[in-house]
């Protein structure tokens, strides 16, 4: 059965007797934001053009070739052919596709605004991608500066200074202490500079394979990251922006508030928000307003609580959430720009000063000592 008209249409309750496509394992890796954007754009384009989604997605899967996106696309095509609606097919890919995606498609189908929902999802996914690009751009240049500085130190110590040592030995002169230090750093660079890298990699591995296995571990890691100057605030602001932005989308699509807060929390990469929204949802189910529940749980800053509470009273919760999300996004952009602006010059100064001092003490000072010794000034 093909879905020719409504991309969310299906066969009602008959699909229980139809063949089922495979569902992802609990260990399935999720689509990246870039892959989610690609899938969403293709679905939106097919829906707009009136292309049957089961046939269109099957053709798309054959073009992709391999990878997670192909697996998800083929599974969606198989489920649509089996009679599932698009939201149902998306929901069956839980673990590969975010849970909020199916909920939003269902809300869009109910409101008849499926095209608008798909466009909003693309905007949201692109905002996540932009954040990742900002973080990478803020870190990669300073990292390259440090690597180049260490490489220069090793080169001087291994290729230049040994000639000085040989000359000093030939003339039976004492090698300056600074030269000895530089030589030691260069000859033992692997043991001096490799352990910090190994420790960092191990810390990331522990975080991914041990801390992430427990709620307490995820929260501990998040608190550690947030305590870092500049970088911690950047991550916290970006995660809050994504959380509030998704909550705004869900509210605007008429998803029940207690369900929307759970979906936004589950989709968030912030474990503090993910756990806090569970308690907020229980308070909402008891009839407590969202602003009051957020204030009770101290989940977001007081300014955000006040703006959300005001939006609830004025029946403008969606726009209020959008405003809060935009505010946090601007905060994260400013901090990312600050890191990109300040960190590279600071590292250039530190690395340049260190290398300059080592060159002066390790290269030029022994040269002067050697000339002085040859001229007899050292007698």
Instruction: Tell whether 120 is covered by a domain.
Output: no
Together in a domain, 161 and 85: no
Per-residue pLDDT of the chain (379 residues; tens, 9 = 90+): 344 444 444 433 333 334 444 455 444 567 777 788 888 888 888 877 777 888 888 888 888 767 788 888 888 889 888 888 888 888 888 778 876 777 777 766 666 666 667 776 777 677 767 767 766 776 677 777 778 877 777 777 777 777 777 777 777 777 777 777 777 777 777 777 778 778 877 877 776 677 667 778 888 888 888 888 777 887 888 888 878 887 887 788 777 888 888 878 877 778 888 888 888 888 888 888 888 888 888 878 888 888 888 888 888 888 888 888 888 888 877 877 777 777 778 777 877 787 777 777 777 777 776 677 666 654 4
State the SS3 of the chain.
CCCCCCCCCCCHHHHHHCCCCCCCCCCCCCCCHHHHHHHHHHHHHHHHHCCCHHHHHHHHHHHHCCCHHHHHHHHHHHHHHCCCCHHHHHHCCECCECHHHHHHHHHHHHHCCHHHHHHHHHHHHHHHHHHHHHHHHHHHHHHHHHHHHHHHHHHHHHHHHHHHHHHHHHCCCCCCHHHHHHHHHHHCHHHHHHHHHHHHHHHHHHHHHCHHHCHHHHHHHHHHHHCCCCHHHHHHHHHHHHHHHHHHHHHHCCCCHHHHHHHHHHHCCCHHHHHHHHHHHHHHHCCCCHHHHHHHHCCCCHHHHHHHHHHHHCCCHHHHHHHHHHHHHHHHHHHHHHHHHHHHHHHHHHHHHHHHHHHHHHHHHHHHHHHHHHCCCCC
Residue 110 lies in a domain: no
Q: Is 112 among the domain residues? A: no
Residue with tokens 């608008």: 116
Tokens of 377: 């000034």
Q: Is residue 121 part of a domain?
A: no
Q: Among positive and negative, which fits the CA dihedral 175, 181, 186, 187? A: positive
Asked whether residue 115 is assigned to any structural domain, the reply reads no
The answer to the question of residue 280 being in a domain is yes
Same domain, 135 and 55: no
Q: Are 79 and 97 in contact (CB under 8 A)?
A: no
What is the per-residue pLDDT for 16? 35
Q: Give the end of a domain, one of 48, 78, 97.
A: 97
- Choosing from 82, 97, 112, the residue where a domain stops is 97
Print burial letters for 223-257: b (CB count within 10 Å at least 16), e (below 16): eebbeeeebbbbbbbbbbbbbbbbbbbbbbbebeb
pLDDT at residue 374, as a whole number? 64
Q: Are residues 83 and 204 in the same domain?
A: no
Q: Indicate if 329 and 377 belong to the same structural domain.
A: yes
Do 62 and 151 sit in the same domain of this protein? no
Give the Cα separation of 264 and 210 in Å (integer).
25
pLDDT score of 11: 36
pLDDT at 168: 75
Check whether residue 74 and residue 191 sit in a common domain: no
For residue 100, give Cα distances in angstroms to 203, 243, 284, 365, 378: 31, 11, 19, 65, 78
Looking at the structure, tell me whether residues 73 and 156 fall in a common domain. no
- Tally of structural domains, the chain: 2
Q: Report if residue 103 sits inside a domain.
A: no
Q: Which domain holds residue 213?
A: 127-379
Same domain, 79 and 179: no
| Residues 325 and 201 reside in one and the same domain | yes
The pLDDT assigned to 20 comes to: 44
In whole angstroms, what separates CA 136 from the centre of its chain? Answer: 9
- What gap in Å lies between CA 140 and CA 143, rounded to an integer? 5
The reply to whether 107 falls in a domain is no
> Does residue 178 share a domain with residue 70?
no
Domain of 225: which CATH number?
1.20.81.30
- 246 and 304 assigned to the same domain: yes
Residue 339 and residue 223 share a domain: yes
Residue 56: count of CB within 10 angstroms of its CB: 22
- Of the three residues 58, 81, 97, the one that is the final residue of a domain is 97
Give the model's pLDDT for residue 285. 86
- pLDDT value of residue 196: 79
* Buried-state track 293-325, b at ≥16 Cβ within 10 A, e below 16: bbbebebbeeebbebbbebbeeeebbebbbbbb
Q: Are 179 and 164 in contact (CB under 8 A)?
A: yes
């Amino acid at each position: 059965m093909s879905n020719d008209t409504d991309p969310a249409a299906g066969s009602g309750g008959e699909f229980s007797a139809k063949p089922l496509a495979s569902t992802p394992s609990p260990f399935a890796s999720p689509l990246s934001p870039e892959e989610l954007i690609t899938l969403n754009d293709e679905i939106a384009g097919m829906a707009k053009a009136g292309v049957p989604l089961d046939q269109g997605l099957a053709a798309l899967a054959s073009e992709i070739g391999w990878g997670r996106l192909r697996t998800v696309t083929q599974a969606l095509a198989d489920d649509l052919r089996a009679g599932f609606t698009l939201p149902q097919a998306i929901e069956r890919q839980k673990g590969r596709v975010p849970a909020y995606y199916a909920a939003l498609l269902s809300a869009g189908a109910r409101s008849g605004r499926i095209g608008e929902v798909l466009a909003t999802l693309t905007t949201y996914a692109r905002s996540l991608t932009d954040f990742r690009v900002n973080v990478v751009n803020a870190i990669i240049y300073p990292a390259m500066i440090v690597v180049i500085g260490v490489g220069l130190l090793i080169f001087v110590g291994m290729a230049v200074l040994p000639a000085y040592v040989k000359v000093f030995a030939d003339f039976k002169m004492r090698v300056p202490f600074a030269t000895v230090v530089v030589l030691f750093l260069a000859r033992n660079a692997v043991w001096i500079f490799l352990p910090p890298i190994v420790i960092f990699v191990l810390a990331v591995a522990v975080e991914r394979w041990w801390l992430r296995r427990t709620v307490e571990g995820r929260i501990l890691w998040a608190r550690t990251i947030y305590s870092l100057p500049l970088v911690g605030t950047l991550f916290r602001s970006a995660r809050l922006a994504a959380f509030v932005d998704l909550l705004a989308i869900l509210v605007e699509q008429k998803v029940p508030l207690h369900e929307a807060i759970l979906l936004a929390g589950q989709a968030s990469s912030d474990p503090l928000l993910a756990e806090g929204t569970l308690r907020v949802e229980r308070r909402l189910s008891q009839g407590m307003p969202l602003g009051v529940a957020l204030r009770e749980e101290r989940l977001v800053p007081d300014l955000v609580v006040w703006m959300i509470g005001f939006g609830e009273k004025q029946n403008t919760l969606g726009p209020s959430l959008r405003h809060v999300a935009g505010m946090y996004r601007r905060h994260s952009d400013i901090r990312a720009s600050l890191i990109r602006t300040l960190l590279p010059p600071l590292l250039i100064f530190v690395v340049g000063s260190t290398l300059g001092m080592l060159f002066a003490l390790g290269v030029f000072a022994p040269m002067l000592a050697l000339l002085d010794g040859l001229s007899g000034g050292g007698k």
